Amino acid sequence: MEENKKIYIGNLNYDTTKEDLQKAIEEAGATPTDVTVISDKYTGRSKGFGFAEFETDEDTQKVIEALDGKEIAGRNLKVNKARPRKPRNDNFGSGRRF
């Protein structure tokens, strides 16, 4: 999926599920191709943000406009286009370059 059709959704309530987020997006008038709520790999608890992907630029923009600043579960969402993911350096902080 192209990065310009992917959005970042931040300031989520920690109890917000993937299903809750998908429902909010659909109520905004778009159908996402994928919705993800990011969770801590050790505790499984939400980190308070997620991502959604769409088929069209129009759906992407529609959801950004509809949900940015909207209150869901007591939190005002921050929604914008997702930035490309930076490559990770998995040397585990050893300070050595291999």
pLDDT digits over 14-29, tens only? 999 999 999 999 999 9
Greater confidence (1 vs 35) lies with 35
Q: Identify the CA nearest to 72 among candidates 38, 39, 29, 23.
A: 23
pLDDT score for 84: 85
- Say yes or no to pLDDT of 98 above 90: no
CATH number of the 3-38+47-81 domain: 3.30.70.330
pLDDT score for 92: 59
Q: Would you kindly state where each structural domain of the chain is located, as residue ranges? A: 3-38+47-81
Q: How far apart are CA 21 and CA 75, in angstroms?
A: 13
- The tokens for 1 are 């999926």
pLDDT score for 91: 59
> What DSSP character marks residue 68?
T
Q: How confident is the model at residue 1 (pLDDT cuts 50, 70, 90)?
A: very low
